[in-house]
């Protein structure tokens, strides 16, 4: 830890946040890139190529350091991250020379005899002693494959505390100490957890090994159906900034403070340059509160708390892998999903919220892959019909890990349900799938369209209806 650089204040970067970097010019000491947000679903080579170079250039890595924050290789589940995905992550970390790599202590996949099922959402692992040992082993393996220092992120957990499980802070402590790794303490995540009835922050901070916290994440959230969500939808709440101000002096190993916001919310919020710079200035004020090398982990006399469980003993005979499978099936609303406790209304409500989040993620992936297709559908059929198509798609097809795969599956649903009801829809779908395939594999692609290409595609690119276009077959070539 003592060899890690003190970076200062930075921001998450994904494509679409270029205006944030421009507004924060001079106040951003580093960027933290989430590479899987612009990867393709091909296991080998999915994280390299011209697309990666364009993002690296947009992030300004040539004149400031970059961290790598994974969102596709979580380390919290029974199923380890795919080896090829880790190879891509390692290649990207090498490309930007990241001082350390972080990932979520969550899971997004469950393995069974039929293969891998993706959850569509970062889900919390069972917080058992055996689970902590297993996760620590995963982290040790991941760190060796990345060949860089590694920190796990403390995840958001919308579920009520499970009887017999370790408290949040105790679980994270056991993982960090057994894996001998760092912690990315996402303050908004743990604030969400506390607001939603999980471990109070004072107890959590007493349980955590605070000397292992290398990085803080700060973000905004929103209330939905009685649950506080980790939405990344605005500027950091003043109450959370005050919590951070009390905590930072207790973090002797703090190396970075990162602001998180989603691109769509940044643009919809219409934040001014002054607001962005004011936000980053407040994070610099937090950075100035550091006391490097001075601090403490758990407070004296807290050993009992660090070993406590929540409530009664865990359910007999229920293995961590089975608990993951059940949660994944319920959250993705699979027909074979086991029912929950009929008397636990709170748990059912939380599962319903998580189901909505899975749908939102899947919708976002499809829109990012097929923007022109979705625009044409909305302009022709209306939002209600498009929503019906999404619900048919979600019921018939499981979640996919990457946008290109989710988009291709949604295209199948659209072609089966809409057919020829929308003029030239097949041409727009074929065009967008060819663009994705070319970018993924290189070379060129030939596409047969039913009308003049620019007359169809340019209006959709502006968000306008192309109007009634005569049938006039054209063959076009998609090149880099």
Q: Nearest to residue 299, comparing CAs of 206, 179, 164? A: 206
Angle, helix 168-179 to helix 129-146, in steps of 10 degrees = 40
Which residues make beta-bridge pairs with 259?
Answer: 11, 218
pLDDT for the residue 268: 85
What residues of the chain score a pLDDT lower than 70?
Answer: 1, 42-49, 294-318, 340-343
Q: CA 219 to CA 269: how far, in whole Å?
A: 14
pLDDT for the residue 290: 97
73 and 103 Cβ atoms separated by less than 8 Å: yes
327 and 157 Cβ atoms separated by less than 8 Å: no
- Helices vs. strands in the chain: H and E counts, helices first: 18, 14
pLDDT for the residue 1: 64
Indicate the pTM of the whole model: 0.91
For 347-362, b/e burial (b = at least 16 CB within 10 A) is beebbebbbebbbebb
State the sign of the Cα–Cα–Cα–Cα dihedral 236, 237, 238, 244: negative
pLDDT for the residue 318: 53
370 by DSSP, 3-state: which?
coil
DSSP H helical segments within 35-116, as ranges?
Answer: 50-59, 83-96
All structural domains of the chain with their residue ranges:
8-306, 370-478
Choices 1.10.3720.10, 3.20.20.150, 3.30.1330.40, 3.20.20.140: CATH for 8-306: 3.20.20.150
Q: CA 395 to CA 413: how far, in whole Å?
A: 11
pLDDT for the residue 267: 87
Measuring CA to CA, how many Å separate 98 from each of 5, 94, 95? 10, 7, 8
């Amino acid at each position: 830890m003592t060899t890690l650089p003190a970076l200062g204040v930075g921001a998450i970067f994904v494509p679409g946040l270029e205006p944030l970097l421009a507004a924060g010019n001079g106040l951003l000491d580093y960027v933290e890139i989430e590479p899987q947000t612009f990867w393709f679903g091909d296991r080998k080579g999915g994280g390299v190529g011209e697309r990666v170079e364009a993002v690296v250039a947009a992030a300004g890595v040539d004149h400031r350091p970059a961290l790598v924050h994974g969102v596709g290789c979580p380390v919290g589940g029974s199923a380890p991250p795919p080896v090829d995905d880790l190879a891509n992550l390692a290649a990207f970390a090498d490309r930007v020379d990241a001082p350390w790599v972080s990932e979520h202590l969550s899971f997004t996949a469950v393995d069974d005899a039929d293969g891998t099922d993706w959850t569509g959402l970062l889900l919390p692992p069972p917080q058992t002693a055996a689970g902590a040992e297993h996760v620590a082993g995963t982290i040790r393996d991941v760190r060796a494959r990345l060949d860089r220092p590694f920190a796990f992120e403390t995840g958001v957990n919308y579920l009520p505390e499970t009887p017999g499980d370790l408290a949040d802070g105790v679980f994270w402590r056991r993982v960090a100490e057994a894996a001998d790794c760092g912690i990315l303490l996402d303050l908004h995540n743990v604030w969400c957890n506390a607001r939603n009835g999980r471990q109070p922050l004072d107890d959590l901070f007493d349980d955590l090994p605070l000397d292992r916290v290398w990085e803080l994440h700060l973000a905004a959230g929103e209330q939905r159906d009685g649950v506080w969500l980790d939405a990344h939808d605005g500027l950091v709440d003043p109450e959370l900034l005050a919590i951070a101000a009390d905590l930072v002096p207790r973090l002797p190993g703090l190396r970075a403070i990162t602001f998180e916001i989603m691109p769509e919310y940044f643009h919809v919020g219409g934040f001014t340059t002054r607001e962005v710079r004011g936000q980053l200035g407040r994070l610099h004020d937090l950075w100035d509160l550091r006391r490097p090398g001075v601090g403490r982990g758990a407070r004296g006399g807290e050993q009992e708390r660090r070993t406590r469980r929540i409530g009664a003993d865990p359910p007999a005979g229920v293995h961590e892998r089975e608990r993951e499978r059940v949660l994944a099936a319920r959250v993705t609303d699979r027909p074979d999903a086991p029912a929950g406790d009929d008397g636990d209304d709170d748990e059912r409500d939380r599962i319903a919220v998580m189901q909505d989040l899975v749908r939102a993620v899947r919708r976002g992936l499809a829109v990012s892959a097929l923007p022109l297709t979705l625009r044409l559908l909305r302009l022709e059929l209306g939002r209600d019909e498009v929503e019906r198509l999404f619900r048919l798609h979600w019921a018939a097809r499981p979640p996919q890990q990457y946008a290109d795969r989710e988009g291709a599956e949604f295209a199948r649903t659209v072609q089966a349900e809409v057919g020829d009801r929308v003029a030239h829809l097949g041409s727009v779908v074929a065009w967008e799938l060819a663009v994705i395939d070319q970018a993924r594999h290189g070379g060129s692609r030939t596409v047969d369209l039913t009308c003049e290409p620019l007359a169809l595609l340019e209006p959709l690119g502006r968000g306008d209806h192309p109007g009634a276009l005569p049938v006039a077959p054209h063959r076009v070539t998609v090149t880099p």
